[in-house]
Structure 1
Amino acid sequence: MSIQSTLQSFLTNPTYLTIWGVLVAISLSILVWDLWKNNEELGRLMKFVWGFTVLYSGPLGLAGYWWSGRTQIAHDSLWRKGFRSVSHCYSGCGSGEVTGVVIAVGLLALETLWVAVVTFTFAYILGYALTVGPLMEDGVPFGEAVKDAFYSETASITVMEVVAIGTDIWLAGEAAMSDVLFWTALVFSLTLGLVAAYPVNVLLIEFGVKEGMMNPAEMG
């Protein structure tokens, strides 16, 4: 059995999917409880970021939050900054990818190539928007905010989406929206995109291309 067919079998197995659904529900419950009980100081944007990260990646997203995103972390580090940064990118790009896929497949019934084009476009737009918006709230002019987002986020978004969309097409390129594989492959591919873009974000911060998200411990 090939890797592709093995993964397809795994992603359509009712037992595995039930276990994953339970893990995601538990992870989201823990996140919401901790944000409400222990981390109210976190900004609205980062609560949004962690919510989508855990929704898409379950226990992996929760582990990343616990390790790098709480005000209770003992000390900050490049690797923690990198995970906060990639999660920020992930929440916007993931939302854009889901939106793009639903529109391209569900509404427009496009062929695979155009599904990829539309999905890439939405992922870039929402990925950039999640950087442009906060910059403008801080008083940065729109043009300058767009340039800053393009400079700091393009490499991360590109790696994330090449891996995510490529994996999704590889696993579920022939699936319809009514198929379980359509949705499970999408979620699985999003997590692979997160993992692939993580070291990219670490390098971008290390070389000063990105500043990285603020140390949450400073908000506590």
Structure 2
Amino acid sequence: MSEFKQNMRALRPLWTGLPIVAVCTGLSLTAAWQYLRYATPLYESTAKIKLADVNEGVLNTTLLKNLDAFSGDNRTSAEVELVRSPLLLGRALDRLSFDLSAYRVGKVQTTEMYRASPFTAEMKVANPKGTEQPFDLRIDAAGTVQVTAPSGEVARGQVGQVLRLSGAELRIGRNDSLLKARPDLSLADHYRLVQHDRARLIEDIASRLDVT
């Protein structure tokens, strides 16, 4: 019996500190959940491209093989530069919706929507100074659209109408296919639009593109 009491006395500090350990564990899990909830997700895409075989076709001749311009290393370098070229990147951007970024503005976090946007946007910025600048967009339940330019100029209208600002035009429509697929998604909210300059966009993508 005395041995049991001694063991319990030895374990008493553990039982005393157990609530503190439980509280610290709970706070750590809550902090981790909040971080994962509001952290901006990062994605990495990897693609493989098969280059032309130097041993096939017209290049498979002794004369051309002896020319340094047609060596394998130079051909590979040329293909790498082609993949990174503004022309090829521009053609890729023509098939993507990267020129105009749409964000949902929340109380804690502003999230880019990309293809999850409940509205469609067509924007033309005539003044180059208007690119890379945030345009504030608010849509209410009645379908009223209010756009505020970076200069503070305000334009109001309805969904589907063309809104004209100094040096910019904007038309907001309903993304009916997405709204039907997701009835819980609301169109009325606070948003932000950024029209990107194509040259800057290509330069930014090229700087992030790792071709090896």
Give the TM-score range, shorter chain.
Answer: under 0.3
Q: Which has the larger radius of gyration?
A: 2
Higher fraction of helix:
1
TM-score of the aligned structures, taking structure 1 as reference length: 0.23
